[in-house]
Amino acid sequence: MNLRGIDLNLLVVLQALLDEAHVTRAAERLGLSQPAMSNALERCRHLFGDPLLERAKGGMRLTPKAEALREPLSRLLADAARVIDPHPQVDLATLRQTVRIVMADYPAVMVVGPLHARLATSAPGINLVVEPWHGAADALDAMARGRLDLAVSVFPVVEASFHREELLHEQYAVCMRAGHPAAKDFNLERWLQYPHVLVSGRGETRGALDQALLALQRTRRVGVWCRAFCWCHRCWPART
């Protein structure tokens, strides 16, 4: 048989007809008009040399040939879908696995609670492991090696081998001691005149903010860096 002479779209139509055993319902399922579906049924009958659907008491019924076509037709269309889309959508409720995510404390507070609540209903078999942040380079290397699944942080640019999604937009706030000289007539230039504090997982002296400053042809000096910083309401007042 020469497949070039066959409209393979008819197989999709035929599957709907065999599932519904009703021309009008099959047409509604595929978004076709009833006359268009009737015409497609006639073409299917000609292709297979069989009535496929025949009148019976209370409606229509499948012929023996149509019944025999259901399973191989379903397998054929499923195989075609896998060829076209090798990564089909997975039923999240059936997954049983551990997902490892790396992020700093602040994004963890923003993300983990809502994420866990959503997973409890959509994918209860997913176990989350949230690992501490040790820097963007470590996170990207761990994902490339398959030791991590996701990283949540500021990634202005990533390699083409990674997929990046924006979760939210944040605004920076400038914190300084009361009476700091930079607070008077505060602007970008005065802010850059004084050394900054940088919170870094591995002690890097440059971060995403420095990249943004470079775009403005500006630089800053980091006078103090620290690996961890507690921002809770009990500790932060004591640190200011």
Which segments in the chain show pLDDT lower than 70? 1-3, 86-88, 201-203, 227-240
- 7: tokens are 């409209």
Task: Tell me the backbone φ, ψ of residue 135, rounded to 5 degrees.
Answer: 110, 150
Cα–Cα distance between 104 and 91 in angstroms, integer?
Answer: 30
**What is the pTM assigned to this prediction?**
0.50
Tell me the pLDDT tens digit for each residue of 46-85. Answer: 999 999 999 888 788 999 999 999 888 988 988 888 788 7
Chain-centroid distance of CA 11 in Å reads 32
What pLDDT shows up at residue 1?
Answer: 63
Tell me the pLDDT tens digit for each residue of 5-19. Answer: 778 888 999 998 998
Q: Which of 149, 12, 27, 17 is nearest to 84 (CA)?
A: 12
Tokens 């073409």, residue located: 43
**Helix, strand or coil for residue 54?**
strand
CB atoms inside a 10 Å sphere around CB 69 = 21
What pLDDT shows up at residue 88?
Answer: 64
What pLDDT shows up at residue 234?
Answer: 46
Domains identified in the chain and CATH numbers: 3-84 (1.10.10.10), 92-152 (3.40.190.10), 181-239 (no CATH)
**Helix, strand or coil for residue 211?**
helix
What pLDDT shows up at residue 202?
Answer: 65
**How would you classify the pairing of strands 150-152 and 97-103?**
parallel
**Helix, strand or coil for residue 214?**
helix
